[in-house]
Every structure is written in structure tokens, then in C-alpha cells.
Structure 1
Amino acid sequence: MKGLRCPIPVARTRKAVKKLPGGSKVRVECTDPLADIDIPHMVNTDGHDLLDKGISDEMRWYLIKLKA
């Protein structure tokens, strides 16, 4: 999700994970610096697990395991 700003990365992530079975792992990538706050908050609020996160160039990524 390059170039998208808050709250679009979280909204699109929430929409996408609803289509996946519980226990799935998903990697979210975006350039929004506020995602460092928004994505972990969404993960915590929705009951998922944030397995890992990082930054590669300007792209931030988050590895999420969906609640079962």
C-alpha cells in the first residue's frame, strides 16, 4: 500500500483479513509512518498476534497471525 495514509492501510488490512481463515499469517506492507502505531493497535484490538515488523527502504512491513 504505497503512498496511502492513515486510516487507509488499516481499513484495507481489516477488510482483507476478514476473508482469510483463522490462524493464517499475512504480511502487510505500507509506506505510511503512522502505520507503526496504527497496525499494532489494530492487531491488538482485533485479537491477532504481531509476529514481526520491520522497515526496508521506505516500506514498512508487519507479519500478522490472525486469531483462530
Structure 2
Amino acid sequence: MHCDRELDVRGLKCPLPILRTKKALSEMASGDVLHVLATDPGSVKDFQAFAKQTGNELLSNGEGNQVFEFYLKRK
């Protein structure tokens, strides 16, 4: 999937992945896509809630080899 920016938050625990994602999205233009890599198992629910609360679109999420990937489109 196309992304405009990538953010690696592997090894960080809640709430740091969400806080760093929020900061990265604030620096991006509307419609840009952010690709996030995380290892915190709680990040799946955290990113779903974050997208719902902020209005940013969670385009996709998945897991592979204990790494969670998220694609968020900035509102």
C-alpha cells in the first residue's frame, strides 16, 4: 500500500505509539497516508479507538511476525 510517511514505534508501550502517531499525523497534509509499525499487542485496539476519536481513517491493520502494521489516512 502507498504511504507518504513511515513511523517505527516498535518496542514502545502504550501510550507512546499513539502519541508519536498523533504527532506525525499533525505534521502531514490532509489525505496523506502514514504507515506505522508497532510491537505492542494493545496497539490494535488503541489504533482503532484513535482513528474513531480523531476522524483519521484506519485504512488497514495487520500482524506479521509479531509486528503490527497500520495505515492511517489523515483527515
TM-score strictly above 0.5:
yes
CA RMSD, Structure 1 to Structure 2 (Å): 0.7
Instruction: Quote how far apart the aligned CAs of 1:32 are.
Output: 0.3
| 1:6-58 deviation digits (Å, cap 9, x = unpaired) | 00000000011100001101111100000011111111111011111101101
Identity among equivalent positions (%) equals 31
TM-score, normalization: structure 1? 0.94
Q: Which runs of 5+ in 2 are unaligned?
A: 1-8
1:1-68, aligned counterparts within 5 Å? Answer: 1-67=9-75
Consecutive unaligned residues in structure 1, runs of 5 or more: none
Q: TM-score when scaled to structure 2?
A: 0.85
How many residues matched? Answer: 67
Q: Which runs of 4+ in 1 moved over 4 A?
A: none
